[in-house]
Structure 1
Amino acid sequence: MGLGGCIILIVVGAILAFATDWHMQGVDLQLVGVICMIVGLIGVATFSSIYRRRRVVVPPPVVEEERHHPRDGYGL
């Protein structure tokens, strides 16, 4: 599950927890919404920690300037 799936879980959970007034026998939709939001937040935290660990910062290469050393003694 990627970052998009986690965000969708959070959104669906928030809709179920705060924006619905359905009543199903044997199912508490507010609790299902809260569980979806918690799972989505855990997924976002896990995804971001894995992404941060994978990201490697590569320092820019060091380019040394070539210096002109005249061999005949008449340097510019």
Structure 2
Amino acid sequence: MGIGVGILLLVIGLILTLGAVDLPDAITDVVDTSTVGWICLIVGGLAIVLALVMNQQRTRTKHVEERRHG
């Protein structure tokens, strides 16, 4: 997951948590949208943090080329 997916999950989580969209009764009877929203918020935040950590480690990596004659 990248930063873009994390941002997307954060936005979806905020929309579901705040109740900005009225979902059909068929969905709200089966799933608590507030709980799903909080889960999306947490996973989105973790995705952003992990993507930033992975990118930071990638910039510190050094590649060494070794040539052997023989």
Q: TM-score, normalised by structure 1?
A: 0.67
- Higher gyration radius (CA): 1
Structure 2: which 5+ runs fail to align?
62-70
Structure with more contact order per residue of length (Cα contacts < 8 Å, sep ≥ 6): 2
Between Structure 1 and Structure 2, which shows a larger proportion of helix residues? Answer: 2
Mapped pair 1:35 → 2:45: no
Distance 2:60 2:39 in 1: 34
Q: Identify the range of structure 1 (36-45 vs 15-24) with the bigger mean alpha-carbon deviation.
A: 15-24
Distance 2:54 2:60 in 1: 12
After the TM superposition, list the runs of 4 or more consecutive aligned residues in structure 1 that deviate by more than 4 angstroms: none
Pairwise CA RMSD: 2.0
Percent identity between matched residues is 37
